[in-house]
Structure 1
Amino acid sequence: MVDGVIRFQLGRIFISNKHMRETFKEYAIQEGIKLKRVKNDKVRQTYKCGADVCGWRAHASWMIDGMNFMLKILSDQHDCHRVYNNKEATVKWITSKFEKLVKSNPSIDVKVICDLLRESYKVSIDIRRLYRAKNRALKKLAKDHAKCFGYLRRCHLKGPFGGVLHSVMSLVANSRLFPLAVCICEKETQDSWEWFLNNLKNYLNYPEGKNLIFMYDRQKGYYARSIYVNFKLTYKSDHYKKLFWRAARSSNIYYFQTCMEEIGIIKPDAKKWLMDIDP
């Protein structure tokens, strides 16, 4: 990719078949190609233009190492007219492109999204697909908000009166817990949590503009995603990303060390950067 534009050349490496599918989907939208999948399985992928008169074609398969795909055949001449109503611009794809916009402005008109798609990606999408994409983004946003409430501490009371006990604990200077607030409510709902947290906010009298840190279940370990955000600032290759997450998800020391050795072979400085982090 050069300046945000996808370009292919023989020998290009893809870290997985999923990575290759996503890259060719983006390329088909970028170039306005009607993409036809001739082969599309776990070991090989072949793409061609949907127009019979066009000779554009690309083929890739697994490398000997069994870890990556390599582009082995490429006929990069494309002479067809651009496809504006591109089927590759699916509801899922539209959602991924405008999820942040919908999150910041949930009431945005789909006609605005339509204009942005036409301007940025040169695609024309029917209005029903746009509505489905926006609704999908809104549902995901609501799900994310609901997930936050799941991290709050509560206890369902089993006595004769029932109800739910909400509580907030604070970590004091000697690393012990101190109860800040408790309340008993009829059941766990969004309204009961809002009432409880708003009262807690008033009680704490915390300055506006400053953030509070909530820890679920007193977890103090490293957050791999935060480490990777800093790691990729220097080591941006997709291959580094793949190896980093393999190491992060390792279930034993041997597999972790194997992944780290692979990173060290490619770039010793990258391995040193990771190993210098205190356990």
Structure 2
Amino acid sequence: MVWGNVFEARTFIRNYAIINKFEYYQVKNEDYRLRYKCGDEKCEWMCYVRKNCDGHTMELKNTSNLTHTCRGKAMDKNKLAHAGWVANEVEQLVRSVRSTRPCDVQEAIWTKYGVNVSYSTIWNAWTICMEMIVGSYDKGYIVMPELTVQVLLANPRSISTCSIDLMTNEWTGTCIS
């Protein structure tokens, strides 16, 4: 099995573990090799992925043992299902249905993967998705002075001011009329 880069390989292995309901830990995780072992010490599952000679693609090596001798520790909870993973998995759902709430995201993850993720993780994932779709408020306030300049250029007789606290460089107010 070959992946285009190290990030695709890591994502595939994480999804594989979550779908097959087991957890792993990283023995080695560098930009040129990945080594994972099953979370159960008695299990012989081991995955070894190494970078090919072209310097980009990653390949699963023959020394990997991909048969599980355990049932896995994660039946309905999985520590591999963190907020970043959940956000990537449900981004399309949140984009298509703007009224999606965190409990809807939690139900979607349970339905698709059979993984029970905590509400705080779901909330963080939902927040990440909303920032990817709508943008960050902090970044919006950074461009407020430029917005007032653009308003004045487009409407020469209008009044447009933006006040900023000079000590903290934080936005304090805007007046447009």
- TM-score range (shorter-chain normalised) is 0.7 to 0.9
Deviation at 1:94, TM superposition (A): 0.9
Q: Which residue of 2 aligns with 1:81?
A: 71
Which structure exhibits the higher relative contact order, with contacts defined as CA atoms closer than 8 Å and separated by 6 or more residues? Answer: 2
Distance in 2, Cα, partners of 1:104 & 1:182: 40
Q: Which residue of 2 aligns with 1:156?
A: 149
AA aligned opposite 2:55: G
Pick one of 48, 62, 69 that aligns with 2:58: 69
Distance in 2, Cα, partners of 1:71 & 1:113: 32
Contact 2:46 2:66 in 1 (8 A): yes
1:131 and 2:105 aligned: no
SS at match of 1:67: coil
Q: Which residue of 2 aligns with 1:215?
A: none
Distance in 2, Cα, partners of 1:29 & 1:92: 14
Residues 1:79 and 1:116: Cα distance change in structure 2 (over 3 Å): farther
Deviation at 1:22, TM superposition (A): 1.2
Give 5+ residue unaligned stretches, structure 2.
Answer: 163-172
1:48 and 2:37 aligned: yes
Give the length in aligned residue pairs: 159
Residues 1:29 and 1:114: Cα distance change in structure 2 (over 3 Å): same
Distance in 2, Cα, partners of 1:75 & 1:165: 66
Query: 1:103-182 alignment to 2 at 5 Å?
Result: 103-143=95-135, 156=149, 164-167=151-154
Distance in 2, Cα, partners of 1:113 & 1:46: 31
Distance in 1, Cα, partners of 2:124 & 2:147: 35
Pick one of 12, 15, 25 that aligns with 1:26: 15
AA aligned opposite 1:76: L
Contact 2:160 2:174 in 1 (8 A): no
SS at match of 1:26: helix
Q: Which residue of 2 aligns with 1:184?
A: 158
Deviation at 1:55, TM superposition (A): 1.1
**What percent of counterpart residues are identical?**
21
SS at match of 1:37: strand
Residues 1:96 and 1:155: Cα distance change in structure 2 (over 3 Å): same
Contact 1:154 1:166 in 2 (8 A): no
Which of 1 and 2 has greater Rg?
Answer: 1
Distance in 1, Cα, partners of 2:35 & 2:8: 14
Contact 2:149 2:160 in 1 (8 A): no
SS at match of 1:87: coil
Residues 1:80 and 1:64: Cα distance change in structure 2 (over 3 Å): same
AA aligned opposite 2:158: I
Contact 1:106 1:138 in 2 (8 A): no
Encode CA deviations 1:194-237: one digit per residue, 9 max, x unaligned: x9xxxxxxxxxxxxxxxxxxxxxxxxxxxxxxxxxxxxxxxxxx
Distance in 2, Cα, partners of 1:128 & 1:185: 44
Give 5+ residue unaligned stretches, structure 1.
Answer: 1-11, 158-163, 168-180, 196-279
Contact 1:166 1:183 in 2 (8 A): no
Instruction: Give the TM-score taking structure 1 as reference length.
Output: 0.49
Q: Which residue of 2 aligns with 1:274?
A: none
RMSD over aligned Cα atoms? 3.0
Distance in 2, Cα, partners of 1:129 & 1:63: 35
